Amino acid sequence: MSGSGWPEVALCEAAGLLGLSTEGQRLLRIGHCAVIALPAHGLVARIARPGTPRDRLEGEMRFARYVHQAGLPVLPPADAVADCAIETTTGPVTFWPFVEATGAALDWRWLGETLRRLHALTPPAGMASLWDPLSVVKTRIERYGAASYARAERAQVLSAAYVRAKRILEDSSLVASVGLVHGDPTNVIVTADGPVLIDFDLSGVGPALWDVASVVVRHRRFGLSGDHVEAFHAAYGLDTGAYGIVDEFLRVRELLDCSFVLTLIGSHDTEAHDELDVRLRALRDPSDRSRWTPR
């Protein structure tokens, strides 16, 4: 990897403080954060964007640590390397074990069973929750609106959808039952030792059915088969009476996934612009069932 953007600068600073080599570093993905593999140490660095509070990343670490200690299949932080976020001039950095994906398909029954176990855990006293999807959406819309390539009509559609989503999450009947949630539970790596949950930036205390909606959106928008969704529901034990609540959360989840494209878009990124326009159809017309391209 070459360049001197915020991820590279942050990684270089953090690695220097910890005495780690960045030789052979490999960018795995970039969006709301950058994820860079350090093969020489068997580590992955998660690098937040400039301005992200260090406490937020440490909240991810605490959640993963607690759930892992409770016996669930999640990837814990690499505490032996750094048990807290490393502050740098361009964003905080955390370190996690590098795990190799086998390429095997995810067993959706496994995910249903794992989320059922997660949602049954008692949140520890004082756990700070990172589950605040609309805060993420709001920040992304504001950043897009300030960009030179922003289009006013798109920003208006996103802002109107934000207002609708806010009303949904303010409905006490929908969020009355809360507990530990992953927040984005299809973030799974299937390893030789089995699947593990990763990426805890929306984790914390929230409505359990949000996690369910985050699976259902894969069926509605990203091509997950109906059989896989049914297998997930059966393993999770979803009550048919909860479908209406899931559908409401699904509208908010779709807005979150629309806003994600805003983190990828640039003045000359034609593919991201086109994908955003496809996703915005769902915000303009609730009956739209356009297929979305995973990004």
Phi, psi of 36 (to 5 degrees): -125, 130
Beta-ladder partners of 34: 30, 47
Q: Are residues 84 and 154 in the same domain?
A: no
Tell me the C-alpha distance between 76 and 240, whole Å.
34
Q: Domain containing 63 — which CATH number?
A: 3.30.200.20
Say how many domains are in the chain: 2
Tell me the C-alpha distance between 11 and 91, whole Å.
9
Q: Are residues 85 and 184 in the same domain?
A: no
Tell me the C-alpha distance between 197 and 62, whole Å.
14
Q: Are residues 92 and 204 in the same domain?
A: no
Q: Are residues 123 and 236 in the same domain?
A: yes
pLDDT tens column, 25-70: 999 998 889 999 999 999 999 999 999 999 999 999 999 999 999 9
Helix boundaries (H) for 79-175 = 108-120, 133-146, 152-169
Domain annotation covers residue 290:
no
pLDDT tens column, 92-144: 999 999 999 999 999 999 999 999 999 999 999 888 899 999 999 999 999 99
Question: Roughly what angle, to the nearest 10 degrees, separates helices 208-222 and 226-236?
Answer: 170
Domain that holds residue 81: 6-97
Residue 3 or 241, more confident: 241
Size of the chain in residues: 295
Across the range 264-272, mean pLDDT stands at 82
Q: In 10 A of CB 152, how many CB atoms? A: 8
Q: Are residues 173 and 275 in the same domain?
A: yes
Domain annotation covers residue 103:
no
Q: Which of 97, 127, 142 is the last residue of a domain?
A: 97
Q: Are residues 114 and 34 in the same domain?
A: no
Domain annotation covers residue 178:
yes
Q: Are residues 116 and 255 in the same domain?
A: yes
Q: In 10 A of CB 44, how many CB atoms? A: 21
Indicate the residue type of 116.
Answer: R
Domain annotation covers residue 102:
no
Question: Roughly what angle, to the nearest 10 degrees, separates helices 133-146 and 152-169?
Answer: 170
Q: Domain containing 134 — which CATH number?
A: 3.90.1200.10
Q: Are residues 131 and 84 in the same domain?
A: no
pLDDT at residue 221 greater than cutoff 50: yes
The DSSP secondary-structure symbol of 5 reads: S
111 contacts: CB under 8 Å, gap ≥ 6: 185, 186, 188, 195, 215, 232, 235
Residue 239 or 197, more confident: 197
101 near 35, Cβ under 8 Å? no
pTM of the predicted structure, to 2 decimals: 0.94
Domain annotation covers residue 33:
yes
Q: Are residues 74 and 126 in the same domain?
A: no
Structure-token pair, residue 198:
């990763």
95 near 45, Cβ under 8 Å? yes
pLDDT at residue 269 greater than cutoff 90: no
Beta-ladder partners of 178: 207
